[in-house]
Amino acid sequence: MTDRKIYLDNAATTIPRESVIKTVSDAMRESYNPSALYLDALKISNKISAAREVVKSALGARDGELIFTSGGTESNNMALTCSRMKKGSRVIIGEGEHDSVFKTASVLRDVEVVFAPIKPDGGVDEEKFKALLCDNVSFVSIMHVSNETGAVNDIEKLAKLTKRASKNAIFHSDGVQAFLKEDVDLAKLGVDLYSVSAHKVHGPKGIGALYIKRGTPIRPLLTGGGQEKGLRSGTESYPLIAGFCEAVKSFDPTEREQVANFKAEFLEKLLESVDGVRVISPIGGVSNILTLAFEGVRGEVLLHSLEDYGILVGTGSACASHHESRFKRLFALEDGYVDGVIRMSFSIDNDMSEIDYIVSAISACVNKLRLDKRK
């Protein structure tokens, strides 16, 4: 055991920035209900509006609404269950979507839900997607970046194809892993709905947003006091909104390159010193996610072994770590690799100087586990 902690599970959640913690904490002292009529409340309401503009601008959301929600799961649930879908129409869901989309799709009634296959790198297979399109499609949900592999889908292209086949179809994209990791310009992407979450970008947990393009037929998931223009009732959490805004404001675009460099160097050194590794993440994937499969090792056992070195990694969606992942099958791995998947996801908190330590720890653990297994 060691006191050292190297956190490599940033796709599950990130560590909030100090400035975010301070902002949330300070904002908790401004506790008036933003809907109240007195001036002090109006001031908070104005700050929420300003925060909304900050997030919208980071998304390139020039046209439409951005409503604050409790996070990615709520945004995805609202997109799927509250959008208008004609009876008997077709709904296309990516096979690799996060459970908050994938499982929610299974409760949809009176529509035909079909799944768009993914390639072994986790990205949607565009040709197969195209084949599912027809003029009866009313709704599509394809994630921008795969949380499992970091594969980036060409949302602009998929949205265009969708609209061409069925001009009234609503196109939703789960952008939770893409926000601030990829260039997101919603106006250009051409999506109708887009989900984001604060805690994946060093913001607080419990806050996210759903972008709704002007004119998109969607009703609220939560009704009540009529906040967020009636689209999301419930007293706004000003502290979390302020924290979200601070996380977005303090993001520095050069961070992306820093993380990308870390990942590249780490991968190079890892492949030099450990054999029997398959890289599942695609080359053009998002800069912070690296999903690997190790031969002859169980992912969760490797995960626990690395804990002893103070290194924390994931085995896939942390929210789903208690059941057999459907991705094992989708990655099309050879037999010896199927159980050996781990997901490492980096952030600006990781320092280049840690790479050698991480690589040698993985090498030691993998070698030991393989040796133990041998007769």
- Which residues of this chain interact with other proteins, rule CB under 8 A? 298, 300-305, 307-308, 322-323, 372-375
- Catalytic site includes residue 134: no
Shortest reach from residue 375's CB to other proteins, in Å: 6
- What's the min distance (Å) between Cβ of 300 and other proteins? 7
Structure token pair of residue 285: 């994937």
Q: Is the dihedral of CA 233, 235, 240, 244 positive or negative?
A: positive
Closest contact distance (angstroms) between CB of 324 and other proteins is 9
Residue 331 neighbours by CB under 8 Å, 6+ apart: 120, 122, 149, 280, 293, 341
Answer whether 209's CB lies under 8 Å from 78's CB: no
Rounded CA-CA distance 182/184 in Å is 6
C-beta of 196 vs 302, nearer to other proteins: 302
Smallest gap from residue 8 Cβ to other proteins (A): 16
Which two three-digit tokens encode residue 215?
Answer: 């004119």
* Spatial strand order in the sheet of 289-294: 277-279, 289-294, 341-345
Angstrom distance (rounded) from CA 125 to CA 118:
5
- Alpha carbon distances (Å) from 196 to 21, 138, 144, 211: 19, 22, 11, 8
| Min dist. Cβ of residue 328 to other proteins (A) | 15
What are the phi and psi torsion angles at 353 (to 5°)?
-70, -15
Q: To the nearest whole angstrom, how small is the minimum distance from the Cβ of residue 306 to other proteins?
A: 8
Q: How far is CA 296 from CA 64, 246, 336, 348, 372, in A?
A: 50, 44, 5, 32, 11
Amino acid at position 192, single letter: D
Q: Going by C-beta distance under 8 Å and a sequence separation of 6 or more, which residues neighbour residue 200?
A: 10, 11, 13, 14, 72, 176, 177, 179
Nearer to other proteins, 219 or 304 (CB): 304
Which residue is catalytic, options 82, 245, 319, 365?
A: 319
Q: How many residues does the chain have?
A: 375
**Of 183 and 308, which CB lies nearer to other proteins in the complex structure?**
308
Residues designated catalytic: 319
